[in-house]
């Protein structure tokens, strides 16, 4: 096993941004939509419907942002370092993707905190389901307005989400973040 690489907080934030970008690439968006049966095509089945694609991409963006915060909370032990990395990460996302929409950084962060709270609340639900399956169910409800997927598809979605968390955790474990 290789020794962890020492990186700055900014480099860690950049790494998180790259991970987010990879998981929101068109190929990934389409694969996830297909997995859960979310139609990206219009009624006639010809070409992608831009509104449906934006809706799905937006919810997938929210889910991935939450997964990054959730994973960093357990993978980066020092709270000062973690909060600094997450602040830098959110600034990168805002500056590169959100700023052009005209929403202020403060309003966007408030909105993201609501999304994070919603996913966190779903994980705190008293259930026999694992936290990853609860996240998958919350993602499903956010997309469709209610639970509509069969349990096998929800399980597959949960496994995909679990894999994403595991991949990001392993990535972060390969680094020592300079204080």
- How far apart CA 140 and CA 74 sit, in angstroms, is 24
Question: Which residue has better confidence, 38 or 115?
Answer: 115
pLDDT, residue 106, reads: 97
* pLDDT of res. 149: 85
Q: Are 161 and 63 in contact (CB under 8 A)?
A: yes
Q: In this predicted structure, what is the pLDDT of residue 43?
A: 57
* 72 phi, psi to nearest 5 deg: -65, -35
Mean per-residue pLDDT over the chain, rounded = 91
pLDDT value at 127 more than 80:
no
Cβ contact 53:47 at 8 Å: no
**Would you state the pLDDT for residue 42?**
60
DSSP label at residue 44: T
pTM of the predicted protein model: 0.92
pLDDT of residue 40: 82
Q: Which residues contact 123 (CB under 8 A, 6 or more apart)?
A: 131, 134, 135, 138
Start-to-end Cα distance in the chain = 24
The residues facing 7 across adjacent strands are: 177
pLDDT in tens, 107-126: 999 999 999 999 999 888 76
Q: Please report which confidence band the pLDDT of residue 128 belongs to, taking 50, 70 and 90 as the band edges.
A: low
């Amino acid at each position: 096993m290789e020794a962890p690489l020492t990186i700055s907080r900014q480099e860690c934030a950049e790494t998180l941004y790259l991970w987010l970008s990879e998981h929101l690439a068109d190929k990934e968006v389409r694969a996830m939509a297909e997995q859960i049966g979310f139609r990206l095509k219009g009624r006639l089945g010809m070409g992608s419907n831009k509104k449906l694609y934006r809706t799905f991409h937006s919810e997938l963006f929210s889910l991935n942002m939450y997964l990054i915060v959730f994973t960093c909370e357990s993978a980066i032990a020092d709270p000062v370092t973690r909060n600094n990395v997450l602040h830098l990460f959110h600034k990168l996302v805002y500056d590169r993707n959100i700023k052009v929409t005209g929403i202020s950084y403060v309003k966007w962060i408030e909105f993201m905190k609501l999304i994070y709270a919603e996913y966190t609340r779903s994980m705190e639900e008293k259930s026999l389901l694992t936290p990853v399956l609860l996240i998958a169910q919350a993602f499903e409800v956010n997309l469709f307005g209610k639970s509509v997927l069969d349990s096998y598809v929800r399980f597959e979605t949960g496994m995909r989400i679990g894999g994403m968390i595991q991949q990001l955790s392993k990535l972060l474990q390969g680094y020592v973040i300079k204080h």
